[in-house]
């Protein structure tokens, strides 16, 4: 495996305008501008740059955590050049980059792009001992094939579940009959529908993931479209900001997340609030990670 992960900072700017070089950073932002298989609302190739641009306007102090997670070091890599290539080649490119960053002991934070970008990252994480996958998504994405394609935004969780031993999908509020049938044959995959995401279910999940090495994938359409209207397939009755950040905090503080992604954001022209919200969400997740006593430098006491 090549160990040359270090590259110059990108021309389009860095997350939070952070001046950290690769060697001194704990977290590495990897933009994957790819949207070849979306069926509706193509444009997630512009997601990574819109999130990074919006992040420049955030204050790095986190009120909830009472610390500056940025002090752990966040480096932004140049975007991967994957637009227009076949999904399998894009997945290979993501795999190589993420494996490289993991082998340097850093935490890759992938910004999509459509959801298929996760597959390369999950494959890399699997080689670093991850057996457990948590996906937050409005959609089950559990088709075996979609429009003749095995690697598609609608098959991504099915493909991902073939890489890891255990998959948990949270926040689903739309699913096909065929997907439901495929799921009923799979004891290793659990779907928690949107309406069952109550406190009790979340504390059960917290126990289940405790101490486990984990990959976390957030399709931002899990949020209600009032927060993030510009996604490939917006679905009503999504999670509120508070519900989602609560779930992220519980999962990230209980388990050992080694890599994560935020996908499916398709910025709309002239709208700034949702790219800002996603930048904030990415930074929140980094903050939760940095304040997990197993991972971080901040000694934050979560209420177990
Ligand atoms: Mn989705």
- Buried/exposed code over 124-159 (b: 16+ C-beta within 10 A; e: otherwise): bbbeeebbbbbbbbbbbbbbeebeeeebbbbbbbbb
C-alpha to C-alpha distance for 116 and 134, rounded to whole angstroms: 15
Residue 22 lies in a domain: yes
Distance CA 290, CA 69 (A): 6
> φ, ψ for residue 43 (rounded to 5)?
150, 0
CA-CA distance, 276 to 139, in Å (whole number)? 23
Domain count across the chain: 1
Kindly state whether residue 111 falls inside one of the protein's structural domains.
yes
114 within a domain of the structure (yes/no): yes
> Is there a domain that residue 21 lies in?
yes
Nearest alpha carbon to residue 232 among 195, 203, 264: 264
Q: Quote the ligand 1 centre to 135 CA distance (angstroms).
A: 10
CA atoms of 273 and 247, how far apart (whole Å): 22
Q: Is 181 exposed, middle or buried (0-12, 13-18, 19+ CB in 10 A)?
A: exposed
Q: What is the pLDDT of residues 143-180, one digit of tens each?
A: 999 988 898 889 999 999 999 999 999 999 999 999 99
Cα 213 to averaged position of ligand 1 atoms, centre (Å): 24
Residue 303 placed within a domain: no
The answer to whether position 77 is within a domain reads yes
Q: Considering the domain boundaries, does residue 300 fall inside one? A: no
Tokens standing for 25? Answer: 């950073």
How far is the centre of ligand 1, averaged over its atoms, from the C-alpha of 124 (Å)?
22
Range of the domain at 58: 15-290
Task: State in Å: Cα 139 to ligand 1 middle.
Answer: 4
> Ligand 1 center to residue 221 CA distance, Å?
5
Can you give the length of the chain in residues? Answer: 304
55: CATH: 3.40.800.10
Q: How far is the CA of 154 from the centre of ligand 1 (A)?
A: 8
**From the CA of 19, how far away is ligand 1's center (Å)?**
33
Beta bridge partners of 191: 169
CA of 40: how far to CAs of 70, 82, 91, 230, in Å?
35, 20, 21, 11
Burial environment of residue 283 by CB neighbours within 10 A (0 to 12, 13 to 18, 19 or more): buried
SS3 112: strand
Show pLDDT as tens, one digit a residue, over the chain (304 residues): 444 566 666 766 899 998 899 999 999 999 999 998 655 557 899 999 999 999 999 999 999 999 999 999 999 999 999 988 999 999 999 999 999 999 999 999 999 999 999 999 999 999 999 999 999 999 999 999 998 889 888 999 999 999 999 999 999 999 999 999 999 999 999 999 999 998 888 999 999 999 999 999 999 999 999 999 999 889 999 999 999 999 999 999 999 999 999 999 999 888 888 999 999 999 999 999 999 977 766 655 444 4
């Amino acid at each position: 495996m090549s160990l040359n992960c270090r590259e110059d900072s990108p021309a389009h700017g860095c997350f939070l305008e952070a001046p950290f070089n690769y060697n001194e950073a704990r977290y590495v932002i990897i933009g994957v501008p790819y949207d070849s298989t979306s069926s509706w609302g193509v444009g997630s190739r512009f997601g990574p740059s819109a999130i990074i641009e919006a992040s420049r306007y955030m204050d790095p102090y986190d009120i909830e955590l009472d610390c500056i997670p940025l002090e752990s070091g966040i480096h932004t890599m140049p975007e991967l050049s994957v637009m227009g290539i076949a999904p399998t080649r894009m997945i290979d490119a993501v795999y190589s980059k993420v494996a490289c960053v993991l082998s340097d002991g850093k935490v890759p934070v992938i910004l999509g792009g459509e959801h298929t970008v996760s597959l390369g990252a999950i494959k890399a994480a699997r080689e670093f001992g991850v057996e457990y996958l948590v996906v937050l998504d409005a959609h089950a994405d559990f088709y075996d094939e979609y429009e003749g394609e095995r690697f598609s935004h609608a098959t991504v969780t099915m493909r991902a579940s073939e890489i890891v031993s255990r998959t948990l999908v949270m926040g689903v509020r739309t699913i096909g009959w065929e997907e439901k049938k495929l799921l009923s044959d799979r004891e290793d995959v659990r779907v928690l529908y949107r309406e069952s995401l109550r406190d009790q279910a979340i504390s059960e999940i917290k126990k289940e993931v405790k101490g486990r090495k984990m990959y976390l994938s957030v399709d931002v359409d899990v949020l209600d479209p009032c927060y993030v209207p510009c996604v490939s397939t917006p679905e009503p009755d999504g999670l509120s900001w508070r519900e989602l950040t609560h779930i992220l905090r519980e999962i990230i503080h209980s388990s050992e997340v080694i890599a994560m992604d935020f996908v499916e954001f398709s910025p709309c022209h002239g709208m700034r609030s949702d790219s800002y919200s996603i930048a904030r969400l990415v930074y929140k997740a980094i903050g939760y990670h940095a304040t997990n006593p197993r991972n971080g430098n901040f000694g934050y006491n979560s209420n177990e």
